[in-house]
Amino acid sequence: MRWFWILFFAVCPIAALVICIIAPGMDWWFPSEAGSPLGERIDSLFHLILYIVTGTFIGTQIAMVFVLWKSSKQDDERAWFSHGSHNLEVIWTIVPAGILLFIALYQMDVWAEYRVVSNFPKEARRAPVAEVMARQFEWRIRYPEPGRILQIQAQPTDLYAVNELIVPAAKPVMIYLKTQDVQHSFFLPELRVKQDAVPGQIIPVWFEATKPGEYDLVCAELCGWGHYKMGARVVALAEEEFAAAMEQLETEQSDDGFAESGDDDEE
Amino acid sequence: MRLSSFGVLPVSIRQKIKLLAVLCVGFVLTGCDAFSPPEAKFVVREETTELTDDVADSVEKELESAFGTPHELVAWLKLPIDYGGIPGATEESDIEGPLNKFPVAFDAEADEVFQSQFREEDGEFHFGERGTRLDWVTGEYAGQTMHVTGYDPEKNFLTTREKMEIAPAAGDTFVLSAGDKLKAGRALYMEHCMHCHGVSGDGNGPTAPYLNPRPRDYRLGQFKFKSTKPAEKIRRDDLSRIIKYGIPGTYMPSFLLLEEDQLLALVEYVRWLSMRGELEYRADQELILASGLTEEIIDERIEDGDTPEEIQEEVDDAVAEMPELFDGLAEGLAESWAFAEDEESLIVPTVARVPDTFESRARGRKFFLEKCTNCHGYNGRGNGSMTEDFQENEQTKELYPEPGLFDIWGNPIKPRNLTKGLYRGGRRPIDLYRRLFGGIGPSKMPNFATTDPSTLWDTVNYVMHIPFEKPDEYTEVDQEYFEQKKAAGGEEPKTADRDADSAEIKQTSTGTTESSDQG
Amino acid sequence: MSEAHPTTHDDAHGHGHEQGFVSKYIFSTDHKVIGIQFLVTTLLMLMVGGALALGVRWQLAFPWESMPIVGPMLFSGDGGQISPEFYTMLFTMHATVMIFLVIIPILAGAFGNFLIPLMIGADDMAFPVLNMLSYWFMWPAITCFFASFFCAGNGAAAGWTSYPVLSAIAESAPGSGMAQNWWLLGVTLVGVSSMMGSVNYMTTIINMRAPGMTLFRMPLTIWGMFITAILQAFALPVLTAAGFMLVADRLLGTCFFIPAGLVVNNADPTVGGGQSLLWQHLFWFYSHPAVYIMLLPAMGMVSDMLSAAARKPIFGYKPMVYSMAAIAGLGFIVWGHHMFTSGMNPALGMTFMTSTMMIALPSAIKTFNWIGTIWGGKIEFNTFTLNSIAFVSMFVVGGLSGIFMAAVPVDIYIHDTYFIVAHFHYVLFGATLFGVFGAIYFWYPKMFGRKMNDTLGKWHFFLTFLGANGTFFPMHLLGVAGMPRRYANPYLHDYLEHLLPMNQFMTYSAILMGSAQFLLLFNFAYSLFYGEKVGRNPWKANGLEWTAPSPPGHGNFDVLPVCYRGPYEYSSPLVEEDYLLQTEYIPPEGQKESKEEHAEPEHA
């Protein structure tokens, strides 16, 4: 039985490790490559921590299995009567402390860039693209009329959309995030963006989609029974296409059903 | 209208969908049988349960044979529903004797669907492990179901699992994977919609009691936000628009991420549920109001001296005539639903939108004062005098116990507060125009189909501007209007009410800010 | 110390042996009976919480398919499909039951009660009646939680964190009506129960230690319980106050947590002026320390068990104590790491990140010390040893995954995904519950005078360990794949569709794990009557509790225990056996002092 249990405690971590190694190949990993510059940095921080943590994990598990093997030998020797080692304690206090502090300090930059408003890219800060208002259970979006600046208060010329946020690609964009009812969270898995929409607050959020394309937008904070339903998409378009899309939205929104004699309902 | 043992129902085939087969689609929820999952059921209308037992049973039986159960859908070709499936016909063949393959031809449209549905990336045709169902419509095998297992694109040969004694004659028609659209719609409905709208579309799913307003009960065949003329049914386009963009201000969320074919399937299933419900409703009305076959009325009649035998005879007659009753009702229903899809029933303004100027809005304001303030209030806050009066229930002719307005489903409703900039039926000018032109029948908003279109556009302009109205913007317009009224000998305007209302709006508009205005 | 003296005890409780059944076994003031009451109650609640979890897992593996039992019973017309609010209720009540009715009371209530007086050599708790009340306040709490099942929405459904506005406005969710009121009342009552316990434990540990039992001769279990009690006493009032504020918001129309202008469920806009983030701060100010409340006693018990299992003194006793204290201290200043994405001041994010990273340090030290304890020992793989090793093994995973979320930028991505769920299940199930299972096997002989069946115990351990890892490890991957928590149907979103098979695997593992717990219950009940009878010290351990009879009678010890050394003197060269009881007096070489003289001055 002794060997069974030693192997048991050895096999489980090995299995965990193997699963982690094959995970990216099995598509059990990030939903896609990070689609934003900040996302790439977040990923590299993730991987940095992953390597440190994996090293520690392997180290501790090996140490544990080793001591289990050593100390479960069936001989007549007495256990080692020791109350500990001052030196060892000092080493395994200082070394992890150093590593942890390093991890903490190393992360500050990305965080500051992501969240501190004065660090936001200027071009994004100057012209917010849209106001995203979460409600149970959808995302309502309000754009300024092309050529205007988004106001906090709704304007007669504003354009509205639901569950589809169109942004220009390859440049930083900022949105105002708010909620109509309970707390929601604006989560773009592919772009590695997450920000809660807190009741009563308007929160500026910026991100940049490197490539044009469609990205998932989901809710990441429990907002009631339909929490899982809040799927939407962010569509990043090249600059000209974005302008065209806004124009089109404007045309659609001012549709008076007269010109096209009846087939105006097609979107 | 009778089901054969195969669940196949020969009917008169409509022009438009002549190639569709009748089918009965089984659907077994996957999962562990050991726990014997219960079957979903269609709810029986309350009116049906009021009928005397024999009649009620007969109604239920008739409904089940025409529509099936949520598990086993039946396609009733009387109804203008696109059940899905690929129609095709057999070609001349020289194969003799027992065979399991025969040459076929699809028309261009069907061929495209056929290719996209069954041709995999490897270029081969795949029909699933158990084969794809094929229903014969005409010819030797009419009414039978077979299973296609292969297709030879060079010779256009379809292979079936079943062996046939003789070859189908050239020109025999069949439908491949019939009913797949309705089935797909059902699956989507059970995933996305059922929790609120209920399995039968009665707006009473498990989550419904907690929602305000209550989810729509489709079973009257009535919808609020449609683009058709006042008396007409809703169009497919309208339903798909509602599903796609949601209804702001209610719990109906946007399902924008559904793909186009999913959306269409869902729309079809909702229409099917709606027709099923409406048919039951109409049959009940007929049996209650015209024939008086409820338990209650029968009891009264027996007290009044009618013999049970007499009544039993009537009941037996009603039961015997049930299929005809359903057929007749279905025909009317089919006609009105089909007509809604017609260009003629669509509301199309005859005049382009009047430019949005102050003058136009002022004219709109006058129209608003004339027609809308009773419900929507003097400032459009949805607090007109009607909201404080007791209204009469149209069916029972009794006053509702609570003051305020009620829709045809008996739910209390509030006239829209127009200061919020929240338009449930859509915020495009054409949407608002259609609301005015067509009214909102189920909630008793009157229609203005006979009003001059440019006046309607003026009103649209005014209504769209209400959320951005400056204080006292229309004071002069109002005064002018009331003076005109007075000159024409109308009633004295209630200035006191008006002022109170204005004061209120000013107060709250400073108190509440951004969150109340939205799209 | 006079309370601890056997003679005073006899005077005070002279009538103890004439007690009737009710006062002896039901409304008992004996800490052992109360402890066992807590243990049995919480084990039953463990099954309830587990059933709720299996409901969650079922929906994730077979979305919208008829849920066994529940589907036919509650949703027969809908083909057994549960409603989405039923799902939100399932995970809300799972967390609530597991945290408030299982883990906290099983550690503090069951083992705290049973072990504290025995391990420090006291005859009972300082306030026996308060102690009894602390158990009997559990039942109103349980009743409240269960009452919420019968309200609209089938139970509270705002998550165990109950973030306002969802939990503050009745219209915002089906379970936010009366069910939420019952829930809040339940949490308050659990708080009252815990508070009574912690006051009692602090007083008992400070005042009632046996002669010679200095603070640094206390077993680590007692240190864990002591620090936990302090944490409870300081953190709980905040939760209770926040709970009352939320109740006031809900019932009295105040607006502590409700900002103005919200339109929920088409109702009139709210008129508040409150701030919903306030709740998060107050809630996590309690609930983060609560994580350590749910962990420290288990750490202590595992230290005791590992040392006994390895026949070796604990490696670095004082660093162990200091690191527990550090965890408790730092535990109060890391609550903000639950709120990195909440939009609080970004500067706070940096501060909380640093403090959170630092709290990983004492945990690391403890892990190294546990390995050090086994190192060079004489280990035998019996059930409690296996469970303790599993504790260390899983705590390592839970601790290391914590580093990812302590790093704010990475947390942006993994916050509120399954990565978090994996992390806290590794800590709370992986670590704490394995510690508890070990403790049940270890102290069962002391509770009932019989051993639990070792073979059944090993099977239970084997299946639970496999099941737990199979259930919780893939959650890390789900998290990295971006699967948010609390989704009734994640597969609605294209990027999560391919995770269904993995979720099904996890559900099978969870079913395995859940069924394995019946082995524990069976073993527990079976061994009450048929277990191997044992003497005072079946494990040859050192603590004071092993000098008392098994099970200890009223008043615990037949003679006043006097403590001469720490509890971890295994394999001491001073004696021939490989253990040395704390009470055993060994005259120092060359001196012939009397016992009494030796014992007196140690504590003041």
pLDDT tens digits in sequence order for chain B, 519 residues long: 222 222 333 333 333 333 333 332 223 333 334 356 788 889 999 999 999 999 999 999 999 999 999 888 888 888 999 888 888 888 887 777 778 888 888 888 888 888 888 888 888 888 888 888 888 888 888 888 888 888 888 888 888 888 888 888 888 888 888 888 999 999 999 999 999 999 999 999 999 999 988 999 999 999 999 999 998 999 999 999 999 999 998 999 999 999 999 999 999 999 999 999 999 999 999 999 888 888 888 889 888 888 888 889 989 999 999 999 999 999 999 999 999 999 999 999 999 999 999 999 999 999 999 999 999 999 899 988 888 888 888 777 888 888 888 988 888 888 999 998 889 999 999 999 999 999 998 988 999 999 999 999 999 999 999 999 998 889 999 999 999 888 887 665 554 455 445 444 444 443 333 343 333
The half-sphere exposure of B25 on its side-chain side, counting CA atoms within 13 A, is 28
Where in the sequence is the domain holding A126, given as residue range(s)?
122-253
Interface test with C, best of A66, A69, A71, A186 (most C CBs within 10 A): A71
Residues 6+ apart with CB under 8 A from A156: B464, B465, B467, B468
| Chain B residues whose beta carbon lies within 8 Å of the beta carbon of residue A138 | 246, 253-254
Every domain of chain B and the residues it spans: 86-177, 219-345, 358-516
The reply to whether B38 touches chain C by the CB within 8 Å rule is yes
The CATH number given to whatever domain includes residue A149 is: 2.60.40.420
Q: Check residue C7 and give its pLDDT.
A: 40
Please check whether residues A248 and A133 belong to one and the same domain: yes
Please check whether residues A128 and A244 belong to one and the same domain: yes
| Chain B residues whose beta carbon lies within 8 Å of the beta carbon of residue A158 | 519
Tokens of B388: 């404080």
Nearest to A231 among B257, B347, B519 (CB): B257
The reply to whether A201 touches chain B by the CB within 8 Å rule is no
Distance (Å, rounded) from C-alpha A159 to C-alpha B237? 22
CB pair distance less than 8 Å for A163 and B256: yes
Q: Is residue A199 situated within a structural domain?
A: yes
The reply to whether C399 touches chain B by the CB within 8 Å rule is no
DSSP C380: -
Residues 6+ apart with CB under 8 A from A135: A179, A180, A181, A184, B518
C-alpha closest to that of A5 among C465, C359, C589: C465
The correct CATH number of B358-516 out of 1.10.760.10, 1.20.1050.10, 3.40.50.1820, 2.60.15.10 is 1.10.760.10
CB pair distance less than 8 Å for A257 and B421: no
* pLDDT(C166) > 90: yes
Every domain of chain C and the residues it spans: 2-8+26-561
The reply to whether A264 touches chain B by the CB within 8 Å rule is yes
Distance (Å, rounded) from C-alpha C331 to C-alpha C552? 36
CB pair distance less than 8 Å for A233 and B257: yes
Q: Is residue A78 situated within a structural domain?
A: no
Q: What are the b/e assignments for B388-417, b being 16+ CB within 10 Å? A: eeebeeeeeeeeeeeeebbbbbeebbebbb
The reply to whether C174 touches chain B by the CB within 8 Å rule is yes
Cα–Cα distance list, C192 to B126, B301, C137, C230 (Å): 66, 66, 7, 15
Q: Check residue B341 and give its pLDDT.
A: 93
Distance (Å, rounded) from C-alpha C185 to C-alpha C181? 6
The predicted model gives A198-216 an average pLDDT of 94
The neighbouring-strand residues paired with B146 are B134
Distance (Å, rounded) from C-alpha B95 to C-alpha B157? 11
Please check whether residues A99 and A216 belong to one and the same domain: no
How many angstroms separate the CA of residue C407 from the nearest CA in chain A? 6
Q: Is residue A258 situated within a structural domain?
A: no
Interface test with A, best of C307, C338, C375, C414 (most A CBs within 10 A): C375
CB pair distance less than 8 Å for C263 and B515: yes
Distance (Å, rounded) from C-alpha A38 to C-alpha C44? 48
The neighbouring-strand residues paired with C303 are none
CB pair distance less than 8 Å for C261 and B70: no
* pLDDT(C110) > 70: yes
Considering all CA atoms of chain B, what is the largest pairwise distance in Å, rounded to the nearest integer?
Answer: 93
CB pair distance less than 8 Å for A200 and C484: no
Task: Out of A179-183, B342-346, C125-129, C269-273, pick the least confident.
Answer: C269-273
Distance (Å, rounded) from C-alpha B447 to C-alpha B437? 5
Q: What is the ipTM of this complex?
A: 0.94
Distance (Å, rounded) from C-alpha C265 to C-alpha C332? 37
Q: Is residue A109 situated within a structural domain?
A: yes
Rounded to the nearest 10 degrees, the angle between the axes of helix B358-371 and helix B475-487 is 50
Please check whether residues A210 and A164 belong to one and the same domain: yes
Cα–Cα distance list, C128 to A252, C33, C135 (Å): 75, 11, 11
The reply to whether C489 touches chain A by the CB within 8 Å rule is yes
Helix residue ranges, H only, C5-30: 6-12, 21
Q: Is residue A264 situated within a structural domain?
A: no
The reply to whether C485 touches chain A by the CB within 8 Å rule is yes
Q: Kind of pairing, strands B405-406 and B412-413?
A: antiparallel
Distance (Å, rounded) from C-alpha C470 to C-alpha C474? 7
Q: Is residue B159 helix, strand or coil?
A: strand
How many angstroms separate the CA of residue B125 from the nearest CA in chain C? 25
Q: Is residue A79 situated within a structural domain?
A: no
Find the closest chain C residue to A225 by CA distance.
C85
Q: What are the b/e assignments for B60-92, b being 16+ CB within 10 Å? A: bebbebbbbebeebbbbbbbbbbbbbbbbbbbe
Read off the pLDDT of residues A115-143 as tens digits, 9 standing for 90 and up.
Answer: 999 999 999 999 999 999 999 999 999 99
| Chain A residues whose beta carbon lies within 8 Å of the beta carbon of residue C392 | 64
C-alpha closest to that of A225 among B187, C482, C90, C500: C90
User: In this structure, are residues A194 and C412 in contact, taking their beta carbons and an 8 Å threshold?
Assistant: yes
The predicted model gives A65-94 an average pLDDT of 89
CB pair distance less than 8 Å for B513 and C261: yes
The correct CATH number of B86-177 out of 3.30.450.20, 1.10.10.60, 2.40.10.170, 1.10.238.10 is 2.40.10.170
| Chain A residues whose beta carbon lies within 8 Å of the beta carbon of residue B468 | 155-156
Q: Kind of pairing, strands A173-179 and A130-135?
A: parallel
How many other C-beta atoms lie within 10 A of the C-beta of residue B231? 11
Domains: count for chain A: 2
Nearest to B194 among C81, C266, C492 (CB): C81
Distance (Å, rounded) from C-alpha C346 to C-alpha A110? 11
Provide the residue type at C284 as one letter.
W
CB pair distance less than 8 Å for A13 and C393: yes
Q: Check residue C371 and give its pLDDT.
A: 95
Please check whether residues A149 and A40 belong to one and the same domain: no
Provide the residue type at B160 as one letter.
T
Class of domain C2-8+26-561 (CATH, top level): mainly alpha
Angle at C39 (CA atoms; ends C37, C43), nearest 5 degrees: 120
| Chain B residues whose beta carbon lies within 8 Å of the beta carbon of residue C173 | 210
Please check whether residues A65 and A35 belong to one and the same domain: yes
Q: Is residue A235 helix, strand or coil?
A: strand
Chains that touch C (3 or more CB pairs under 8 A): A, B
How many angstroms separate the CA of residue B306 from the nearest CA in chain A? 55
Nearest to C492 among A49, A116, A231 (CB): A231
Read off the pLDDT of residues C299-336 as tens digits, 9 standing for 90 and up.
Answer: 999 999 999 999 999 999 999 999 999 999 999 999 99
The reply to whether B253 touches chain A by the CB within 8 Å rule is yes
Q: Assign C153 a pLDDT band (cuts: 50, 70, 90).
A: confident
The half-sphere exposure of B183 on its side-chain side, counting CA atoms within 13 A, is 16
Provide the residue type at C67 as one letter.
M
| Chain B residues whose beta carbon lies within 8 Å of the beta carbon of residue A154 | 421, 467, 514, 517-519
User: In this structure, are residues B257 and A163 in contact, taking their beta carbons and an 8 Å threshold?
Assistant: yes
| Chain B residues whose beta carbon lies within 8 Å of the beta carbon of residue C264 | none
Q: Check residue B96 and give its pLDDT.
A: 72
Tokens 């500026």, residue located: A204
CB pair distance less than 8 Å for A265 and B235: yes
